[in-house]
């Protein structure tokens, strides 16, 4: 009897189980790997996850938490490809808030077309703030025929907490969960589930010949992914086609047999018709497709002919795997499965991760030519590392290493990198550290009240950690801190050097040329007023009048309405200092930049990729700052350093185009331009700078950063004395020019 019950029980569960909805709009499907409701992802920089304590119904809700006072946002978002027809789209959902201030909370609905946003509403105009219990809200927008993507989300701007649950999306009053998709919009690639549970690939021992063959396969696979019309049309799940070709490919006995396998594989994809709309790469393109590997691998004439024919008659138009984002034009990597159910992907999926990433960089990295290593050589170097990774930690560290090869401060490993975080430890020092004069120094206390028990002074130089010299630690960890330049790398490494898996570490430090050794107690991050970037604003204000009639503005907490006041109060000052040693709270290039110029001032131009010719990047139009009626006549000094990254660098470029602007400080992080997100197997992800950013004369900013007109760096003595030497130099600059 017991055996019968055990046998029948699973069958009864399957028989009576309700049909699953295609979209997780009630937040009930949960990813233990990502700590998020399944298929939901994060926009912005707040704490976002799933909550089991506060749900409108069921077990889970989506939650956003923020302790930020400046204008920024966090959003828990969900993307739906448009496979439906209709005239009107409506999002309904429940929201609960607690202590929301300096902003608002709301549902969000956004509709995108091929290259622009077609509709948007985030309930900002409803001004929902404070504390509110669960309440149902809705957004209704027209549903354009040219819509390609729908984004639904919950958003929080400012400080507080917000919960979201039980979303319902309807088109013309019909629930999207039951709405029939347009037949022509169902991609065959989406129906292929054969390898959802694993690649079933087993690799033999790697030798030089096999690594060379796998290098070739990765390049052919990526070329076909972005060039072949059938793959671009979504006819194939290209991840899984790799697993289908690999067993046969691994058994090839020589180059001739290898090439026949590749030619036959290409033939199975169907006939490639002559392309009448394909255009040659412009001679003035900044980056041209790099297909030199086709001629450099001793391939058979038949294979070379196949590849070159496809290149000439490549996919055109809407592509299943790649697009360009609305308005900006950085790459949007579409339909890339992160395989979040695989905490440690098997060797086939690990190789897929490398192939995916390498080819994305090969065809859609605007700064490909700026890498330290020839990108064509990187793939073969990492094939053994990915295949032979023995643990989840080793896999994550190998991903960080290959990401570091693109030399981009925007690029690092994110997502569920829990093994790396555990490896580095969850205990942190009670002091903030920074590299000054190439030495690691203490420059702040996270909790000043702890100073007596810490035993370290501002300006102390850390020389050893657990008897190991700082120089050796930097060398050992260099490859695991991706960055555009050394200034940004040292900035990021300084946060982790005293981090540990233990509650204490042994440190050696210098104070007044005397060496001391002590055991330093470490703390959980939550027990400290921990921060990574530096505190530079004067007081908590975004603008202030300094002595000698000098105006000071920090962009760290600037607000748009304040610009009008700044223009009025600072118009007759001796000079203005704009501090961008931070990340601007608001987009200021045009709003404030127009105050510093008396004529239209070109300041930037971008390179944009071409989906129709993967690997090509060409210049767009040059952007200019247009002056306002009232222009500032005095001198302006803009302060920058290694904290100035991305939008901060772009803003410095805009201000530099003004009439009397001097950039002062030290070289910036060298990572400008809008970022593109890249999902990777194992629930991981990374990013790249998605567009190339140049001065109007063609000078690059990536890796170079914003080079100051006047270089000023802090000194250890200055740090000890509590001085801001860069700000002092700016004030001195105005006083000297007055004499």
pLDDT at 739 over 80: no
Transcribe 274-324 into DSSP letters: PPSS--PPPTT-SB----GGGTSS---HHHHHHHHHHHHT---SS-SSEEE
Query: Please, which pLDDT band fits residue 102 given cuts at 50, 70 and 90?
Result: confident
- In terms of C-beta density within 10 A (0-12 exposed, 13-18 middle, 19 or more buried), how is residue 621 classed? exposed
Contacts 24+ apart (CB under 8 A), 443-446: 443/534, 443/719, 444/534, 444/535, 446/528, 446/529, 446/530, 446/531
Per-residue pLDDT tens digits for 13-52:
333 333 357 899 999 988 766 678 988 988 877 889 899 9
- The C-alpha angle with vertex 632 and arms to 628 and 634, in degrees rounded to 5, equals 160
Angle between helix axes 208-227 and 347-364 (nearest 10 degrees) is 60
Predicted pLDDT of residue 185:
59
| Residue 275, both tokens | 């392309």
CA distance 349 to 198: 8
Which single residue is written with the structure tokens 């908590």?
Answer: 540
Which single residue is written with the structure tokens 């131009």?
Answer: 605
Q: Domain map of the chain by residue range? A: 30-185, 208-408, 421-527, 543-738
Predicted pLDDT of residue 138:
96
Per-residue pLDDT tens digits for 522-543:
999 889 999 887 554 444 679 9
Predicted pLDDT of residue 47:
86
Per-residue pLDDT tens digits for 491-521:
999 999 999 999 999 999 999 999 999 999 9
**CATH topology (fold) of 421-527:** Pdz3 Domain (2.30.42)
- The C-alpha angle with vertex 732 and arms to 731 and 736, in degrees rounded to 5, equals 125
Predicted pLDDT of residue 737:
67
For residues 697-726, b (16+ Cβ closer than 10 Å) or e, as one string? Answer: eeebbbbbbbebeeebebebebbbeeebbb
Find out if CATH 3.30.70.260 is the number for domain 543-738.
Answer: no
CA distance 83 to 71: 35
Of the candidates 276, 354, 271, 270, the residue with the CA atom closest to the CA atom of residue 312: 276
pLDDT at 6 over 60: no
Contact 629, 666 (CB under 8 A): no
Alpha helices in 138-183 (DSSP H): none
What is the 3-class SS of 574-636, one letter each residue? CEEEEECCCCCCCCCCCCCHHHCCCCCEEEEEEEEECCCCCCCEEECCCEEECCCCCCCCCEE
How many CB atoms are located within 10 Å of the residue 67 CB?
A: 9
Predicted pLDDT of residue 117:
83
Share of the chain above pLDDT 70, in %: 94
Predicted pLDDT of residue 21:
72
Cα first-last separation, the chain: 102
Of the candidates 148, 203, 160, the residue with the CA atom closest to the CA atom of residue 317: 148
Predicted pLDDT of residue 5:
32
CA distance 402 to 389: 13
Chain centroid to CA 677:
5
**Average pLDDT of the chain, as a whole number:** 91
CA distance 321 to 233: 9
Per-residue pLDDT tens digits for 217-240:
999 999 999 999 999 999 999 999
Predicted pLDDT of residue 540:
63
Predicted pLDDT of residue 3:
35
Contact 46, 63 (CB under 8 A): no
Query: Please, which pLDDT band fits residue 164 given cuts at 50, 70 and 90?
Result: very high
Count each helix (H run) and each strand (E run) in the chain, helices first.
Answer: 18, 34
- At residue 315, φ and ψ (nearest 5 deg) are -60, 140
Q: Which residues pair with 465 in a beta bridge?
A: 468, 507
* Residues 6+ away with beta carbon under 8 Å from 427: 499, 500, 501, 502, 503, 522, 523, 524
* Cα→Cα distances 179→79, 81, 198, 670, Å: 17, 13, 31, 47
Contact 366, 287 (CB under 8 A): yes
Chain centroid to CA 453:
39
Alpha helices in 88-236 (DSSP H): 188-191, 208-227, 229-232
Per-residue pLDDT tens digits for 71-89:
578 899 998 888 788 999 9
Which single residue is written with the structure tokens 């605007």?
Answer: 366
Which single residue is written with the structure tokens 């901060």?
Answer: 648
**Which helix (H) or strand (E) segment is 60 a member of?**
none
* Cα→Cα distances 318→363, 391, 597, 610, Å: 16, 38, 41, 12
Strands 431-436 and 439-445: antiparallel
Predicted pLDDT of residue 538:
45
CA distance 75 to 300: 51
| Residue 223, both tokens | 């070329």
Contact 426, 376 (CB under 8 A): no
* 3-state SS assignment for residue 665: strand
Spelled out in words, what is the top-level CATH class assigned to the domain 30-185? mainly beta
- The C-alpha angle with vertex 436 and arms to 434 and 442, in degrees rounded to 5, equals 45
CA distance 671 to 687: 11
CA distance 372 to 730: 35
Query: Please, which pLDDT band fits residue 617 given cuts at 50, 70 and 90?
Result: very high
Half-sphere exposure of 454 (CA within 13 A, CB side): 21
- At residue 675, φ and ψ (nearest 5 deg) are -95, 150
pTM: 0.82
CA distance 315 to 612: 7
Query: Please, which pLDDT band fits residue 1 given cuts at 50, 70 and 90?
Result: very low
Alpha helices in 25-141 (DSSP H): none
Predicted pLDDT of residue 494:
97
Half-sphere exposure of 198 (CA within 13 A, CB side): 6
Query: CA dihedral defined by 468, 472, 473, 478, rounded to 10 degrees?
Result: -170
CA distance 333 to 538: 41
Per-residue pLDDT tens digits for 254-268:
999 999 999 999 999
Which single residue is written with the structure tokens 């992080």?
Answer: 669
The pLDDT of 167-193, averaged and rounded, is 84
Share of the chain above pLDDT 90, in %: 80
Per-residue pLDDT tens digits for 552-611:
999 998 988 999 999 999 999 999 999 999 999 889 999 999 999 999 999 999 999 999
3-state helix, strand, coil split of the chain in percent (to 5) is: 30, 30, 40
| Residue 195, both tokens | 């390898």
């Amino acid at each position: 009897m017991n055996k019968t019950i055990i046998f029948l029980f699973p069958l009864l569960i399957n028989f009576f189980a309700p049909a699953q909805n295609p979209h997780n709009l009630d937040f009930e499907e949960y990813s233990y790997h990502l700590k998020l409701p399944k298929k939901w992802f994060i926009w912005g920089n707040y704490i976002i996850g799933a909550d089991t304590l506060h749900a409108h119904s069921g077990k889970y809700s989506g939650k956003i938490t923020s302790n930020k006072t400046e204008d920024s946002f966090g959003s828990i978002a969900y993307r739906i490809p448009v496979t439906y027809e209709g005239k009107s789209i409506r999002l309904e959902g429940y929201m609960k808030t607690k202590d929301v201030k300096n902003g608002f909370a709301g549902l969000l609905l956004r509709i995108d077309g091929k290259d622009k946003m077609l509709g948007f509403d985030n309930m900002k105009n409803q001004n929902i703030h404070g504390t509110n219990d669960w309440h149902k809200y809705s957004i209704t927008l027209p549903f354009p025929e040219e819509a390609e993507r729908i984004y639904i989300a919950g958003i929080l701007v400012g400080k507080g907490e917000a919960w979201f649950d039980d979303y319902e999306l309807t088109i013309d009053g019909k629930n999207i969960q039951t709405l029939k998709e347009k037949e022509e919009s169902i991609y065959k690639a989406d129906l292929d589930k054969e390898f959802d549970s694993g690649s079933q690939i087993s690799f033999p021992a790697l030798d030089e010949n096999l690594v060379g063959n796998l290098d070739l396969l990765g390049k052919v696979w990526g070329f076909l992914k972005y060039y072949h019309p059938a793959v671009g049309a979504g006819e194939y799940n290209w991840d899984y086609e790799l697993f289908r070709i690999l067993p046969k490919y691994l058994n090839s006995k020589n180059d001739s047999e290898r090439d026949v396998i590749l030619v036959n594989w290409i033939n199975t994809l169907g006939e490639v018709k002559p392309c009448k709309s394909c255009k040659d790469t412009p001679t003035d393109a900044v980056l041209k497709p790099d297909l030199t590997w086709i001629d450099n691998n001793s391939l058979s004439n038949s294979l070379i002919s196949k590849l070159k024919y496809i290149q000439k008659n490549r996919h055109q138009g809407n592509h299943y795997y790649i697009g360009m984002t609305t308005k900006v034009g950085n790459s949007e990597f579409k339909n890339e499965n992160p395989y979040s159910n695989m905490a440690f992907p098997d060797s086939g999926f690990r190789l897929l991760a490398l192939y995916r990433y390498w080819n994305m960089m090969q065809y859609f990295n605007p700064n490909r030519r700026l890498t330290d290593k020839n990108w064509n050589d990187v793939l073969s170097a990492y094939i053994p590392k990915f295949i032979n990774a023995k643990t989840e930690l080793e896999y994550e560290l190998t991903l960080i290493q290959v990401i570091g090869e693109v030399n981009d401060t925007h690029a690092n490993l994110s997502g569920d990198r829990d093994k790396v975080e555990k490896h580095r430890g969850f205990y942190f020092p009670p002091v903030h550290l920074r590299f000054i004069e190439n030495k690691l120094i203490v420059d702040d206390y996270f909790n000043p009240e702890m100073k007596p028990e810490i035993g370290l002074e501002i300006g102390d130089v850390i020389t050893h950690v657990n008897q190991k010299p700082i120089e050796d630690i930097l060398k050992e960890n260099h490859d695991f801190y991706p960055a555009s330049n050394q200034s940004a790398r040292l900035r990021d490494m300084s946060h982790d050097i005293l981090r540990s898996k233990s509650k204490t570490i042994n440190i050696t430090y210098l104070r007044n040329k005397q060496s001391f050794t002590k055991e330093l107690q470490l703390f959980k991050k939550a027990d400290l007023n921990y921060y990574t970037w530096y505190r530079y604003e004067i007081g908590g204000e975004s603008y202030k009048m300094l002595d000698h009639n000098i105006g000071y503005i920090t962009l760290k907490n600037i607000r748009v309405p304040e610009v009008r006041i700044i223009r009025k109060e600072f118009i007759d000052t001796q000079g203005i200092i704009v501090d961008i040693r931070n990340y601007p709270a608001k987009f200021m290039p045009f709003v404030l930049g127009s105050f510093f110029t008396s004529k239209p001032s070109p300041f930037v131009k971008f390179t944009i990729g071409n989906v129709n010719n993967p690997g090509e990047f060409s210049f767009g139009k040059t952007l200019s700052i247009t002056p306002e009626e009232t222009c500032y006549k005095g001198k302006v000094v803009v302060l920058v350093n290694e904290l100035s990254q991305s939008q901060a660098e772009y803003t410095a470029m805009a201000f530099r185009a003004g009439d009397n602007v001097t950039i002062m400080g030290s070289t910036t992080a060298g990572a400008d331009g809008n970022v593109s997100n890249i999902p990777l197997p194992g629930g991981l992800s990374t990013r790249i700078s998605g567009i190339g950013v140049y001065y109007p004369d063609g000078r690059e900013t990536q890796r170079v950063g914003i080079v100051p007109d006047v270089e000023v760096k802090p000194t250890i003595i200055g740090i000890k004395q509590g001085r801001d030497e860069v700000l002092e130099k700016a004030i001195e600059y105005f006083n000297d020019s007055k004499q």
